[in-house]
Amino acid sequence: MVHELSKSNSIFATFMGEIRDSSIQKDAMRFRKNMERISEILGYELSKKLEYISKTVKTPLGEAEIHVLKEQPVLATILRAGLAMHSGLLNYFDSAESAFISAYRKHTTPEEFDIHVEYLASPKLDNRIVILSDPMLATGSSLVTVYKALLKQGKPSKIIIVAAIATPDALEYIQRHLPENTDYWVGAIDKELTAQSYIVPGLGDAGDLAFGEKY
């Protein structure tokens, strides 16, 4: 199931607008902060679909029944562009464990590239809920490569994908390679790609905007 948050009006649209706006993008701290806020909201929305158990807590005046997550998810993200998203998700899922994986495009021609994974630090993933964040799903190929690499750590019970911007082609490609019960929470869906596989209108290079251009 794909949930696109920009479909309904809310303050979320302001944060999405600011990460896209090239005059505001010059402020890297604001870019990271907005990416974090976007992920917090995506995390809050997706949390409504998770399972909860009831628990009794003592207040200074009595007892209150509350609902807490039945199980803690693992928050997985792709280095380095996913770090601000990870931070936002971790703000809300503050007892979750984390998994980090690196992926980069190694170009064979200006238009063609392979995805290389070099680093993986993850807890065991057998029967865990894995929330996998990646700000930009352009073709879906890095996310699928990362998903396959994560499977070496065990088979999750459920995958939840979180992205700021995705293309319909990326979502379709990912849906073909990930389990059927995977849920998708995206800020916006943009239809076009450049020849170099950048999303249009998109926002540019999320990793460079958050952390500076690569050398």
Identify the helix (H) or strand (E) that includes residue 121: strand 120-121
Shortest Å distance, C-beta 76 to ligand URA = 17
199 near 188, Cβ under 8 Å?
no
Binders of ligand URA among 24-63, rule CB under 6 A? Answer: none
Shortest Å distance, C-beta 86 to ligand URA = 15
Residue 175: both structure tokens together: 């849906």
Q: Please say which residue, 96 or 138, places its beta carbon nearer to ligand URA.
A: 138
Applying CB under 6 A, among 81, 130, 143, 163 the residue interacting with ligand URA is 81
Q: What is the dihedral of CA 198, 203, 207, 208, to 10 degrees?
A: 100
Task: Find where tokens 């690196």 sit.
Answer: 102
- Give the x/- contact pattern for ligand URA in 174-203, rule: CB under 6 A: ------------------------xx--x-
Closest CA to 138 of 80, 81, 191, 208: 191
Q: Please say which residue, 142 or 153, places its beta carbon nearer to ligand URA.
A: 142
Stretch that binds ligand URA, among 35-43, 154-162, 177-185, 204-212 (CB under 6 A): 204-212
Shortest Å distance, C-beta 26 to ligand URA = 16
Q: Please say which residue, 16 or 74, places its beta carbon nearer to ligand URA.
A: 16
163 binds ligand URA (CB under 6 A): no
- Distances from the Cα of 30 to the Cαs of 12, 19, 23, 108, 199, in angstroms? 15, 8, 11, 34, 21
Cα atoms in the 13 Å half-sphere on the side-chain side of 35: 30
Residue 71 dihedral angles phi and psi, to the nearest 5°:
-145, 150
138 binds ligand URA (CB under 6 A): yes
What does the alpha-carbon distance between residue 201 and residue 190 come to, in Å, rounded to a whole number? 7
Identify the helix (H) or strand (E) that includes residue 173: helix 168-177
206 binds ligand URA (CB under 6 A): yes
Residue 112: both structure tokens together: 């063609």
Count of residues near ligand URA by CB under 6 A:
9
136 binds ligand URA (CB under 6 A): yes
205 binds ligand URA (CB under 6 A): yes
Interface positions with ligand URA (CB under 6 A): 81, 136, 138, 198-199, 202, 205-207
